[in-house]
Amino acid sequence: MTVEDADDDPWAGFKPLDAEQARQWRQAHPVLSPWRVLGWQAAAGLALAAALGLLTGKASIAWSAGYGALAVALPAALFAHGLMGRIASVSAVTAVTGFVLWEIVKIALTVAMLMAAPRLVRGLSWPALLAGLAVALVMYWVALAVKLRRRS
């Protein structure tokens, strides 16, 4: 390796952490559990469904909003379950392949649930369903914002 090659090597100045430094880094950067995010999605969906049900007095509106949140949370739970524990224990290629396959399953289940909504939710309100869907999706960003805020 020549001096010119060293300038092109992005790993040239890399120094691995020792055990204590790694422990301190993990303590300063805790992992956000996907199950916590799923809990937030479920809670937000339930809160929206309850609020819409109370405001409108229509159970069908509440069920529509709840089903919209469920159309996000249930596939996400399946996705998380499919990936948990597998990514760290396999090769990078297998991890990426698994991620892509579980993402396809998640999207397909979400689409199937949305297509089945008119048959499963009596008196379906698409605006309420979309509101539930949006509230559940926003929880990903809320979780990220809370995590970043706690870190700083």
For residue range 104-132, list pLDDT tens digits in order.
999 999 999 999 999 999 999 999 999 99
pLDDT at 11 > cutoff 60: yes
pLDDT at 151 > cutoff 60: yes
3-state secondary structure at position 13: coil
> Residue 101: pLDDT band by 50, 70, 90 thresholds?
very high
Output the pTM of the full model.
Answer: 0.77
3-state secondary structure at position 32: coil
Percent of residues, the chain, with pLDDT higher than 70: 90
